Amino acid sequence: MQVLWAPWRMEYILSDQKGTDCIFCPGEDRSEDQERLILHVGRLTMVIMNRFPYINGHLLVAPVRHVPELALLSNDEMQDLLWVVRNAVEILKTQMKPEGFNVGLNMGKVAGAGVEEHMHFHIVPRWNGDHNYMTVLGEVRVIPEHIRETYRKLLPYFAKLNDHGGEE
């Protein structure tokens, strides 16, 4: 019998999410970015790795401002948000070589929004065969690379990502 170890999942299983700070509010202090898996904080938009990913490279892109839905974003925020989503996809394409992507926004609890008070896009890189019987039958995901290693690989590319600023 093979044993599948995923000790980082225990943090999620045992965590009490109630009463904690919003994971999408970056604050002013950048000293905790690595611990929080924050790859980029711009003037209007931020990128953070999903601590409990569906697969390697699962990113979350959110407005810096605490906003629950699209209708409450300014035009500048909407433009910058999509610009960062596009660039995050391009970074993942070049660095992780996925064969496709799922990019989406869950709005509202019934739509699957885990943090419905602060809207965010999911960017999920996909590879042929990345889901197998373990996910379907055992409700287990096998993620071949540790999240800290993926963070280390992606961080230099997000460090080059500047604010959109309305150009192009």
DSSP 48: E
CB atoms within 10 A of CB 28: 5
129: alpha, beta or left? (left if phi > 0; alpha if psi -120 to 50): left
Is 40 part of the annotated catalytic residue set? no
Catalytic residue among 120, 122, 131, 164: 120
CA atoms of 97 and 99, how far apart (whole Å) = 7
CB atoms within 10 A of CB 43: 13
Amino acid present at 30: R
Amino acid present at 97: K
Give, for 9, the enclosing helix (H) or strand (E).
Answer: helix 9-14
Sheet arrangement for strand 121-126: 38-41, 45-49, 59-63, 121-126, 100-105
Q: Can you tell me which residue has the tokens 């898996």?
A: 37
Instruction: List active site positions.
Output: 120
